[in-house]
Amino acid sequence: MTLIVGIRCTDGIVLAADGAATLGSLGQQTAQQRTVKKLSILPGSIVVGVSGPVGLSQRFQAVLDQGFQANRYSARAEVAMGVMRTDLWEVLGPEWAAAHTVASVIGPQAAMSSALSSALVALPLNGRAELVEFDQQCAPTLATNDLPFMAVGSGQGIADPFLAFIRKVFWPQGCPTVRDGIFSAAWAVEHAIHTSPGGVAPPLQVVVLEPNGGGGWQARELPDTDLRDHHHAIEDAEHTLKGWRDALTGAPGVPPAQRPPA
């Protein structure tokens, strides 16, 4: 279970992810671990986040790194993402074929568990930072000024409406700045962590792709100190909303009734 959020910004790309990994066998979940970093930074300032089996994530990273180093993604973004799709399908295609073969023996749910995946990739293409989503068939979608945010994973159903609300309130005219994008992505993931019925859990991870000051791009992971600052900003925003509610109704919110001791 996973949530990975990506936002195209005026001055870069922001990605955020939760930290839960679900272990399993034959489609059955066995344990959850909360020490996983789902966003990986590759040479060339490529940031990759994959929702799905860890092994697929590792192989996706390898083929994207190889393709970037071989200069296979040097065309315009809309063409380059098609080349990336071909490279990723070389990994995923055989998994879908194998799932089809064994489905009659172990069942379709167990068979598909090793092939179901989606990914967000941020990378510099022709001097510009781009964000691309790859779905379960590796079909790519490029983030644009009109569609600047994306989410993949089991928490997508929670994150997408929340991000749409944030966009309407904070950056309705297009893309946010990286600073606003960090706040928005972090808030969306924290909201999903607190409201998801299961599978999305801390710790929060945030990576940004931004100009390096020399005409190129650099990817960096935000340290815990920065994440704490954004957590406090989220708490301030929620507190402000509560204050607005109190001013609107003329009365403070009524605290929930306390349960009697057992």
CATH value at residue 190? 3.60.20.10
Average pLDDT, the chain: 90
**What pLDDT digit, counting tens, does each position of 224-241 carry?**
999 999 999 999 999 999
Whether residue 258 lies inside any domain: the answer is: no
Q: Using the predicted structure, report yes or no on whether residue 60 has a pLDDT greater than 70.
A: yes
φ, ψ for residue 4 (rounded to 5)?
-130, 125
Contact (Cβ atoms closer than 8 angstroms) between residue 7 and residue 184? yes
Q: Distance between CA 187 and CA 173 in Å, rounded?
A: 20
Q: Is residue 229 part of a domain?
A: no
pLDDT(29) > 60: no
The number of distinct structural domains making up the chain is 1
Residue 259 confidence (pLDDT): 57
Distance between start and end Cα atoms, the chain: 34
- Predicted confidence at residue 106, as pLDDT, reads 86
Identify whether 232 is part of a domain: no
Mean predicted confidence (pLDDT) in 73-100: 96
Tell me, yes or no, whether 257 lies in a domain. Answer: no
Q: Residue 251 domain-assigned?
A: no
Task: Supply the pLDDT for residue 245.
Answer: 82
% of the chain with per-residue pLDDT over 70: 89
Residue 26 within any structural domain of the chain = yes
Structural domain including 156 reads 4-222
The pLDDT tens digits of the residues spanning 90-102 come to 999 999 999 999 9
| Inside any domain, residue 141 | yes
256: pLDDT strictly greater than 60: no
The answer to the question of residue 249 being in a domain is no
